[in-house]
Structures are given as C-alpha cells and as structure tokens.
Amino acid sequence: MIEHIGSQTREPIEDTENELLEFVEYLSGRDAILLNTENGIKELYIERVDYAGYVVVIDGKGFEFVRSLE
C-alpha cells in the first residue's frame, strides 16, 4: 500500500517488483542493492529519511533510488 507523508511517497518493498539482495553499511548510513524482478536489473537505493519524493520502505526506513547497476 502506497502511503503519502507530506511530499514523500512511501511504498513497502513487499508491494514492489524489487527484491532486497544486500545492505552496504557506511558510517553515515546504508545503501540497499535491490533486484528488479521484472527486468533483472540491479538498482542502488540509499537510505533517506527526509527525501521529498518516492521511496521504497525496507525495515521501516525509506530508500531513494539512485541508479541502475551493471
């Protein structure tokens, strides 16, 4: 179920075509590597609590799409 909070649109990963492959931990936060199961492309998402746009929610945290990975 898509949820709107202010200018942020949040969608649980379970409701998307994405599958979590792994987290990459950093001192300033973490990234998520997702697999788009529709097209087989890996995608990089970065944890962003204050992003004003669409985020995928994983473990209660919002992740913003950054780019596709090859």
Listed in sequence order, the DSSP H helices in the chain are: none
Quote the pLDDT of residue 17. 96
Phi, psi of 14 (to 5 degrees): -65, -25
Give CA–CA dist 31/63, Å, rounded: 8
pTM here is: 0.88
19-50 pLDDT tens trace: 999 999 987 788 999 999 999 999 999 998 78
Tally of residues, the chain: 70
Under 8 Å between Cβ of 47 and 30? yes
